[in-house]
Structure 1
Amino acid sequence: MTPNYTLSGRYRIVRSLGEGGMANVYLAHDLILDRDVAVKLLRLDLRDDPKTIKRFQREALATTELVHPHIVSLYDVGEENGMQYLVMEYVKGMDLKNYIKENFPLPLQQVIDIMEQILSAVATAHAHNIIHRDLKPQNILIDEQGNAKITDFGIAVALSEHTMTQTNTILGSVHYLSPEQARGSMATKQSDIYSLGIILYEMLTGSVPFKGETAVSIALKHFQNDIPSVRDFDSKIPQALENVVLQATAKDPRDRYPTVEDMANDLLTTLSATRVGENRFEPADLGNDETKIMPSAQIAAAIDAHRQTEATQAIPKPEADASTSDEAPAANSEPLPKRSWSKRHPFRRKLIIIFSIGLLLIAALGVGLELSRPKQTSVPRVSGLTQSAATKLLAKHNLSVGTVKRVKSNAVAKNHVIKSVPGSHRSVQERSRINLTISSGAKKISFGNYVNETYTQVRRDLVAEGFTVKEHYSTSSLASGQIISQDVVASSAVMPSKTTVTFTVSAGSRYVGLKDLTGESKSDILDYAKANQLNIIFKRGYSDEQKRNYSYSQSPEGGADVRAGSTITVNMSKGSQSTSNTATKSFYVKTTVPYQTLASSTTQSNDVKVYIQDDTHTLDSVYRDLTITRENRLSIPFQLTGKQVGQYRIVCNGVVVDENLKVTSRDASN
C-alpha cells in the first residue's frame, strides 16, 4: 500500500506503521471526519486463506463489542478489490515493550497505574465473555499522555466457542503463554491473568522471566520452573507487589486470582503501609489431582488398580446362620441378658448430650452473626466527577459522602473529585461514608529552568501538569533534541492551564532532503516537520488547482537540501477564487500589551509573541516576535474575505495576556 492511496475514497494512506504475521498497519487520514486513523490491512499472501480471513473478521467482531477508554476503538470495517481492512483509533505513541525499554526503571506507582488501566480493559472483555489469549506488551499501546490501550483481538475467542488449542499448535507469544495453553489445554480467563502477571513482572524487572533458544524450551519452563523473584532483582519492591506477580502466575489456574477485578483490587493496595511485612505468597496445596497426560497403558493400569481397590473394600456382611457358625450356642442354653450401652455408660451419655447441645448453640450463634453482618460493596471510581455526580454514583452502591476536603489542583478541574478515601475498588460495608477530596481550582507554580535538558522528556512532564507546549527548532552546536532557550522566565509564577511555553530546540547541524509538501493537509505537514526538526509557517491563499485546506506551494521547494532547524513557508488553499464573489476587507485592530514586572527575574524585558489568523495567516504560526520594556500599543493587520472571522492571541512571557477569537471589520480601529 503506497502513500497517498485513498482506500474506499475516504482513507488516504500516509505511511506504514508496522507489519505483523496477519496484517499490515498504516497511518491514514479520514478525509470525511478530518482525523488520523490506523488502517489494518490483511496481507496479500493471506487473502485466500479462509482461516486467516475468519480470524480477521473475529477481531472486528470482538473489538466492536468492547467499548472502553483503554481498548483501541474500531471505527469501520470494509473491503476493496478483495482487500479486507479495519479502521481503528490511531494511538500516537509506542507499544509497552518499547516504552519499558526507553523508560526503565519505571516508578512503582506508574507501574501500578498502567496495570490498573490494562486490568480494567481486560475486565471489560471478560465481562463480555471474550478472552484475549495474546496479552503481551507488544499489544498494549502507550499514548503521549501515558495512557494504555489494548489492541489486537485477532485471536480472542468468545467462551461460547471452542477454545481448545490444537496439538502442536500454540497461539500467542510463548514468553507470556500460560502453562495450560502450552500443554494444549483450553484457554480460560485465568490464562489471561497469567499473561497479565508476566507483563507486570516485565514492567518491574525490564525483562521476561523465562528465556530459551527455542519456543518449546520456553514453554517447558512455564509449567516446570518457578517464576524468579522480582525482589531478588530489586529489594525495594514491596513483598505485597511481588505477591501479586506470584499469585497471577501460579502454575495451577485455581491458585490464581478468580477474576481480573480481584487482581486489580489487590494491586491497588500493594504500596500501602498496612501491607508492610506481608508474608510471601505460597499457592494452596490442592493435592495431587492435577490433570496429566498419560499413555493408554498407564490409564488402563490405573483403572484396573482402582477396580481392585473397590473389590477389596466391598466386604459383604456375614449373615447370622446358626448351622454354619462354629460358636453357635447349645440348643438348651438360654441367651444371656444384654444391657444397653446407655445404661452401662450413663456418665458418657450425658457428656455426649451436653457436647452436642454446645455445638448446636455455637453453630446457631455463627449463623446469627453471619446474617446480621452488613453486606460488602466495592467503592466505585469517582475521580474526575463533580461532587453531585459522585454522590449519586456512591448512592447506587449504598454508600454516602463523608467529609469533603478542598485542595488546589492543576491536574483536576475545579469542583471535580480528585480522590476518595477509601479508594476506588476497595471493599467496604454498605452504608459506609466515603470521604472526598475536591479540586478548588488550579494554583500558580514556579516555572523551572529547562535549558540544556531533553525536550521530549520536558514536554511530557509539562503537558502532564497542564501546560501547552510548543517547539521551535534551530541549528545549534548542542546535541539534537536539547533545549536552547525558553520564552517563560525561569522561577516565574504561572498557572499551568493558562500558560503556553515555546522552547527553542536544537536541531543539530545536519541537513534534510526536503520533501514535496504540496497536496498535504496541515496535520500531515506538522507531523513531517516535527519528525525532521523543521519549522513551518503557514500562509493562506486562493488556488484553482488545489482543494480547500491542502497545500499548493512551498518555499523552499521540495527536493532542496535544507539544514535541520530551518523555516519552511507553506501556502494552504482557501479554494478557488472564482467561487468567491464576496469582497475582501483590509483593516487594523489596535490593542495594548501590558508590561509585566517579574520580581523573581533579573531580566527587565518581556518576550511577546503575536499570533493572528486571517486570509493569509494561521494561528499556528508566530506573526510577530518582539521584546518590550514598557507598555506597548500594537496595530494588528487583518485581511478577511466575505463573512470570514479573524483571530488574534498575544502571549507575554508564555502567558496569554490578550485574545480575540471573533475579529470582524467592525473591530477596526479608526
Structure 2
Amino acid sequence: MRAGYTLSGRYRIIRALGEGGMANVYLAHDLILDRDVSVKLLRLDLRDDPNTMRRFQREALAATELVHDNIVQVYDVGEENGMQYLVMEYVKGTDLKAYIKAHFPIPYREVIQIMEQILSAVRLAHEHNIIHRDLKPQNILIDQNRVAKITDFGIAVTLSEHSLTQTNTVLGSVHYLSPEQARGGMATKQSDIYSLGIILYEMLTGTVPFEGETAVSIALKHFQSDVPAVRDTDPRIPQALENVVFKATAKRPQNRYASVADMAADLRTSLSPKRAGEERFTPEADDDGETKVLPLSSLGHLSDATAHAQTTPEPAAAAKASEQSTEETAPKARLSYKQRHPRRRKFMLMGLIILMLLIGAGLGVALFQPRMTNVPNVVGQRQAKAQSTLVATHLKVGEIHKTASAKVKRHRVVRTEPRSGTELQRNSVIDLWISTGPKRYRLGDYQGDSYSSVAAKLEALGFTVHRESVHSTSVPAGRIIQQSVSAGHKVIPKDTAITLTVSTGTQTVTLSDLTDKTKSQAQDYAASHNLNLAFTYAYSSDVAKGKVMRQSPGEGAVVQEGDEITLTMSRGPESDSSETDQFSVKVKIPFDSSATSGSDTEDDDSSSSAASENLVQIYLRDQDHQLSSVYKQMTITNDTTVSLPFTVAHGKSGAYKIVRNGEVIGEDSHVTKN
C-alpha cells in the first residue's frame, strides 16, 4: 500500500508501521474525523486463505465487543477491492518487549501498575468469555503516558467456539505458552493467566524463563520444568511478589488463580509490609492416584512388625507349653505339634525367607543409591571461580559457550545448563555460558530509507535516535539523506546516539521582482531560496549595464526549490555588433557517484555512503563575466550537459572553469568561436 492512497475515500495512508505474518499495519489519517489511526490490512497473498480470513474476522469481532481503556479500540471494519482491513486506535509509543529492553530494571511499583492495567483489560475479555490465547509483550503497547493497551485478538476465541480450538493445534507464542496448550490441549482462562505470569516474570527479570534452540524444546520445558525463581535474579524482590509469579505459572491450572481478578488483588498487595514474612508459594500435591514409592523408613517398620508377628507365640500355645514340665511328655508334645501344624511351619519358613529378601533389598538401595547434589548459583562469577565452585560441589565442567550479554560483564557466567538449584547426581556435567559483553550491531546504509521505519527499528534495538530535518530537491520527504554514524560500523546500541538527516522535500517559493537588481544581488536571493540561476544578455538603453532587464518566470510566480530562474542582464546601449562575437559551447559534466559523506569507518569491509547529488559551480570569462564570480550554480543527480554562452570582442577568446563538490574537473582558458 503506497503512501498517499486513500482507503474507502476516508483513510489516507501516511506510512507503514510494521509487517506481520497475517497483515500489514499502516499509519493513516481519518479525513472525516481528522485524527490519526492505524489500518491493519490483510496481506494480498492470504486473502484467499479461509483460515486467515476467519482469524482476521474473529479479531474484528472480538475487539469490537471489548471497550476498555487498556484495549486498542477498533473503529471500523471494511473491504475495498477484495482487501479486508481494520481501522484501529493509533497508539504512539512502543510495545512492552521494547519497553522492557529500554527501561530494565523497571521499578517494582511501575511493574505492578503496568500489570494492573493489563489484568484489568484481560478481566473484561474473560467476563465476555473471550480468551486471548496469545498474550505476550509484543501484543501489549505502551503509549507516551505509560498506558498499556492490549492488541491483536487474531487467535482469540470465545469459550463456546470449540471448533476453533482444536485439541491438537498449538497457537500462540511458545515463550508464553501454557503447559496445557504446549500439550495440544484446549486453552482456558487459566491459560491466559499462565501467560500473564510469564509476562510478569519477564518484567521483573528482563528475560523469559525458558530458552531453547527450537520451539519444541521450549514448549517441553513449559510442562516439564518449574519456572525459575525471580529472586535468583534479583534477591531484593519481595517473596509476596515472587509468589504471584509462582501461583500464576503453576503447572496444573487448578493450582493457578481462579480468575484474573484474584491475581490482580494478590498483586496489588504484594509490596505491602504486612506480607514481608510471607512463605514461598508451593502448589498442592498432585494426588491423582498414581503409583507411589514407599520410603526406606516405612519398609524398615514393616520388616520389624513382620518379624515380631512371626517370632511371638500365640497365648494358647504358650499356656499349653507351660503345662508340659516333664521330659517324657515334651517329645510327645513336640511331635504332636509337627503332626498337627505342618503347613504353619512351612509358611513361617517362607515368611522368614521373604523377610530376609526385603531386608537385603533395603540395604542394597541404601548402599547403592546415587549421591545427589544441587547446582550452585555461579551467575556473575568469573569463569575460573565458577569452575572451582562447581568442582567443589562434586560437579564436572562441560562445554564452555560464548554469548553476548548486556547485563553480565565480560568473562563472567551468564547462565548454566542445567540451571542453578537443579538436583543432580554427583559428577554430572554442567555447561557454562560466558559473557562476551554487550552485543555489537553493524549499522546498515539507511540513506534513501524511510525515517519512521528505520528510527523505530533502531530505537527497539536500544539506540538513541535524533532527527534533523532539511529541505532537499532530490530526496523525497520523509527519506533519510545522511546518517551521523557510517554504515558498517559495529556499535553497542544502548551506548550509541545516531543522528539521521531527513528530507522534508522541496518548498515552494513565490518569486520576488528581480528587475533592476545587480548580478550579485540576484545570486544572493537565489542562494537564500535554494534556486538556480541562468543568465542571458541583451543591449538596453533603459537599463544600466550589469542590471537585470527581465526574469523568467516573472514576479509572483510560484516555483519549487531547486528550479532554475533565467535572468536577462543589460549590456548597456547597443554598440557595433560587428566588433563582438557571440557563440555557445556545450560542456558535459559527469556525475560522481563515488563521493561519500566523509565519515571514517571502523572496519575495512564496511560500505561507504554514496552521495545522492553533486554540487556544481560554473565560472565564465567573457565580455560580461569574470572568472572570479560564479556564473551558475546547480545540483546534479546524473551526467548533465550545459550550454555556456560567450560574448567576446572580435578576435578575442573566453574561458570557463567547472567545479564539482569543491574540485575543478574541467576548464578551458582559450574559448573562441569556431
| Structure whose alpha-carbon radius of gyration is higher | 2
Q: Give the TM-score range, shorter chain.
A: 0.3 to 0.5
Q: TM-score, normalised by structure 1?
A: 0.45
Q: TM-score, normalised by structure 2?
A: 0.45
